[in-house]
Amino acid sequence: MRRFAVASVLCMLTFAVALQSKDKAGNNPIVGTWNCIAHGGENGDVPFTLYLQESDGELTGTVSAPQGDADLSSVTFRDNTLKIDIDTGDTDYSLTATYAEGKLAGEWSRDGQKQGTWEGKK
């Protein structure tokens, strides 16, 4: 009977720790899949998808667009501001956006020159 009680307590503690870890990972509103559109480019409006993950407090991700897919070179999210850099080898893209009410809205640049605006939602 005592073994059963100890085993039950250990199971409950393990479950509680797992829930706490999930809550910490789930607190970052920026993590997930974002359906986005960029305005102001040579080809008009361009849809793209951002896939943002967090592991050990570090944000990473990929972008998928009609022109192809790429890993994000850097991702930061502080004070409701998202900053993303993408180095495709030929071109450097930078995106900044403000997160508010579950949406992203901001500007993008190519090779250091402002090109237009963009927005996204999950």
Using DSSP's 3-state secondary structure scheme, residue 47 falls into strand
- Are 46 and 118 in contact by the 8 Å Cβ rule? The answer is no
Q: Find the CATH number of the domain harbouring 58.
A: 2.40.128.120
Report if residue 116 sits inside a domain.
yes
pLDDT by residue, tens only, the chain of 122 residues = 555 443 343 334 334 434 444 444 468 999 999 999 999 998 899 999 999 999 999 999 999 999 999 999 999 999 999 999 999 999 999 999 999 999 999 999 999 999 999 999 99
Report if residue 14 sits inside a domain.
no
The model carries a pTM of: 0.77
How many structural domains is the chain composed of? 1
Report if residue 62 sits inside a domain.
yes
